[in-house]
Amino acid sequence: MLKFTDIKQVYFLGIGGIGMSALARYFASKGITVSGYDRTKTELTSALEREGIAVHYEDNPALLPKKLFISNSLIVYTPAVPATHHELNTLIDRGFNIHKRAEVLGIICNSGRTIAVAGTHGKTSVSTMTAHILKTSELGCTAFLGGISKNYQTNLLLDSTGSEWIVAEADEFDRSFLQLKPELAVITSMDADHLDIYGSHEKVIESFQLFAGNIKEGGSLVLKKGLPVGFETEAKYISYTYSITEQADFCAENIELKDGYYQFDLKIPETRIEKLVLNYPGLLNVENAVAASALALLSGVSPEEIRIALETYSGVKRRFDIQLNNGTFVLIDDYAHHPEELRATIQSVREIYQDRTITGVFQPHLYSRTKDFAEGFAHSLDLLDEIVLLDIYPARELPMEGVTSELIFRQIRNKNKIQCTKSELIGLAGTFKPGIVIMMGAGDIDTLVEPVKEQLLKYEGR
């Protein structure tokens, strides 16, 4: 097994990824020299550089740190790095063992008491909320998050209390979450996704069942009520359900919307916690709060600590992230990139802003996902009043013949739809009707948020 005790240097191939950067920060906090490569300079890689982590942006073996070859070094890579990558192949040729991010995270987490948050959507919000609850409680925690917490402005929370608890986002992509052996786990959703990896929805569900089977003896699984059965019969762990729409072991009751935020009662086994206030918008986040509260209570957090934490939770960047609210426009930045995520986000916005025009800008993520779910994307986007569809963000993929945003566009029934490029969007934003603007996608659409905001701010002068 890989051991970290004598490591002097860690090098990351793809250091700018959200999971990779959390690991980079973790090793740097241990006093280990950390450096890495990424294809593109981003706000996150710039933050790593400010923290003293060297990052370069050219795939050039000559730029590999010299000390890699003379000290005990750990090489970590993400599957997003192509097999043709020059630095990757140089390190392999030089005899280095190259370790996947998921393997390294598993070794760290499995040494403690891990709370693992899994699901095809919702996991970043639930893990960040869970981490915030534990962090503000007497228990404390370390946390590896799949987004930037707005409470802490980072994706890595470090513990200073001696806590054994580690909160980790459990990523189903490439079956990465099978490296984790948690004490507590939640599954928020099991939609068909990553079919380029799994091949079928049945295989996705099967992988989640294997993940649940990794829960330690005497541990607990919290499962969203209504997900496919087959987990509850496992004898080695206790299984609970959660919901905001029906009775479950953990469920929200008496949900009330007040000034854009929700108050609710949390029914838990044997009792209830009344009049909790979540000072973060979106009905979907009430559901996330129920899941996070269930995990926190099972770990030993008190009901009063739950109450305090939910009132102070500030959310995650790019998750229902309100960028502007000036009376004329509300601009929301959201990471939604699956049809079910789009639907949940749009419906939550509709519930809060019932009488206002909702314009959605969507950037599809991956050719394979677009091909698999074009019809589902179209149905979700039809929930909007005005639709703007951008080109596909390819990420790790090469183009697929016949797969473009047009696959989605032609199936959208709403006639108030426009297809445009990223460069055209800025000018188009100047014509948006007053109301709610949601920018959605997992690619680089976030780089357009600020220029769109500037256009919206000019409205009074039009």
Taking only the tens place, the pLDDT of each residue in 364-405 is 999 999 999 999 999 999 999 999 999 999 987 889 999 999
User: Is the per-residue pLDDT at 260 higher than 90?
Assistant: no
pTM: 0.88
How confident is the model at residue 415, as a pLDDT?
Answer: 96
Percent of the chain predicted with pLDDT > 90: 78
Q: What's the helix, strand, coil split of the chain in %, to 5?
A: 35, 25, 40
**pLDDT recorded at residue 197:** 74
Residues 340 and 272 in one domain: no
Residue 417 confidence class, pLDDT cut points 50, 70, 90: very high
What's the confidence (pLDDT) of residue 79? Answer: 84
Q: What is the pLDDT of residue 360?
A: 97
Q: What percent of the chain has pLDDT over 70?
A: 97
395 and 357 together in one domain: yes
Same domain membership, residue 153 and residue 51: no
| Of the residues 257, 281, 312, the one at which a domain ends | 312
Does 4 reside within a domain? Answer: no
Cα–Cα distance list, 251 to 257, 288, 290, 400 (Å): 17, 11, 6, 43
- CATH number for 253: 3.40.1190.10
Closest CA to 176 of 144, 130, 151: 144
Is the pLDDT reported for residue 461 higher than 60?
A: no
N-term to C-term CA, the chain: 64
Positions marked catalytic:
123-124, 169
Distance CA 36, CA 57 (A): 9
pLDDT at 153 over 60: yes
DSSP class of residue 193 equals -
- Mark whether 50 and 117 lie in a shared domain: no
Judge whether 430 and 462 are in contact, CB under 8 Å.
yes
Distances (CA, A) of 194 to 102, 199, 204: 16, 8, 8
Same domain, 255 and 273: yes
191 and 328 inside one domain: no
Count of domains observed in the chain: 3
Residue 219 has φ and ψ, to the nearest 5°, of -80, -170
Domain assignment present for 105: no
CATH classification of the domain holding 48: 3.40.50.720
Is 205 among the domain residues? yes
**Same domain, yes or no, for 92 and 183?**
no
pLDDT tens-digit map of 202-256: 888 889 999 999 999 999 999 999 998 665 555 689 999 999 999 999 999 999 9
Find the mean pLDDT for residues 51-76. Answer: 92
Last residue of a domain, one of 74, 100, 126: 100
For residues 331 and 336, what is the distance between their CA atoms, to the nearest angstrom? 15
Q: What is the mean pLDDT of the chain?
A: 92
* Parent domain of 47: 9-100
pLDDT tens-digit map of 312-370: 999 999 888 999 999 899 999 999 999 988 998 999 999 889 889 999 999 999 999 99
Residue 67 predicted with pLDDT over 60: yes
Same-domain check for residues 136 and 203: yes
Q: Are residues 238 and 306 in the same domain?
A: yes
Report the SS3 class of residue 391. coil
Residues 54-67, mean pLDDT to the nearest whole number: 95
Among residues 245, 277, 312, the one where a domain terminates is 312
pLDDT, position 224: 95
Kindly report the CATH number assigned to the domain that includes residue 387: 3.90.190.20
